[in-house]
Amino acid sequence: MRFSKFFGYVLLFSFFINCGQDEKRNHLSIKIDAIIQENDSIQTFYTTNSSIDFNETQSFWTHVKGSKKNQTLSFHFPDSVKPKQVRMDFGRNIKQRDIVLNEINFFYLDKNFSAKGEEIYWIFRVNDANTLIDKLTGKLKRKDTTETVGPSLYPEGDKLFKKLNELYSKN
């Protein structure tokens, strides 16, 4: 009995140690404070150079549970991949109302940077082909409400590229 109790404590201690280390893994994480009212999925694309030639092989999907309140969405890139450019396509749900982006935070090891409100559109630009934006409120919406392609954000020139490189630097 004493051995199993000791083993339980060791297992619990190991769990907490590993959880603490997980936050400093060798991958980029993005946390977005947003209002997305309907269940949906967000596709995140990335490149490992300065190119914005995005493709399906360097992308992943994240399911979002809809909420009328602010929520924090987390996106974790594959281990040891250092994205240099990022594109986000906000959903396929035609019933999705306006999406409100409040803040985007980028984390790598123990470093981070964020963009809040209008600052978001200093490092990202909307895809004018399918997205309408109100920069003052942060609302994004699809241009054609009959299309499944939702609003999307592309890097604004090399601004995101430079910010991500600073994040990865050892200084």
Q: Is the pLDDT of residue 113 over 90?
A: yes
CATH code of the domain made up of 26-168:
2.60.60
Mean pLDDT of 60-86: 95
Write the CB contacts of 24 (distance below 8 Å, at least 6 apart in sequence).
109, 110
Which pLDDT score is estimated for 25?
63
Which pLDDT score is estimated for 1?
54
User: Tokens for 164?
Assistant: 């991500």
Q: Which of 5-9, 22-26, 148-152 has the lowest mean pLDDT?
A: 5-9
- pLDDT band of residue 89 (cuts 50, 70, 90) is very high
Residue (of 124, 171, 111) closest to 152 by Cα position: 124
pTM of the model: 0.83
Which pLDDT score is estimated for 2?
58
22-66: per-residue pLDDT in tens?
455 689 999 999 999 999 999 999 999 999 999 999 999 999 999
Q: Under a CB-based contact definition with an 8 Å cutoff, are residues 30 and 106 in contact? A: yes
Quickly tell me which residue has 């090399």 as its tokens: 158
- pLDDT band of residue 136 (cuts 50, 70, 90) is confident
Quickly tell me which residue has 């947003």 as its tokens: 34
Which pLDDT score is estimated for 125?
95
Distance, in Å, from the CA atom of 144 to the CA atom of 150, rounded to the nearest integer, reads: 9
At position 97, the amino acid (one-letter code) is R
Q: Is the pLDDT of residue 67 over 80?
A: yes
Distance, in Å, from the CA atom of 100 to the CA atom of 151, rounded to the nearest integer, reads: 11
In order, the DSSP letters of 25-52 are SSSEEEEEEEE--S-EEEEEEEESSS--
Q: What residue spans define the domains of the chain? A: 26-168
Q: Which of 14-18, 65-69, 79-83, 126-130 has the lowest mean pLDDT?
A: 14-18
Instruction: Identify which has the larger pLDDT, 12 or 37.
Output: 37
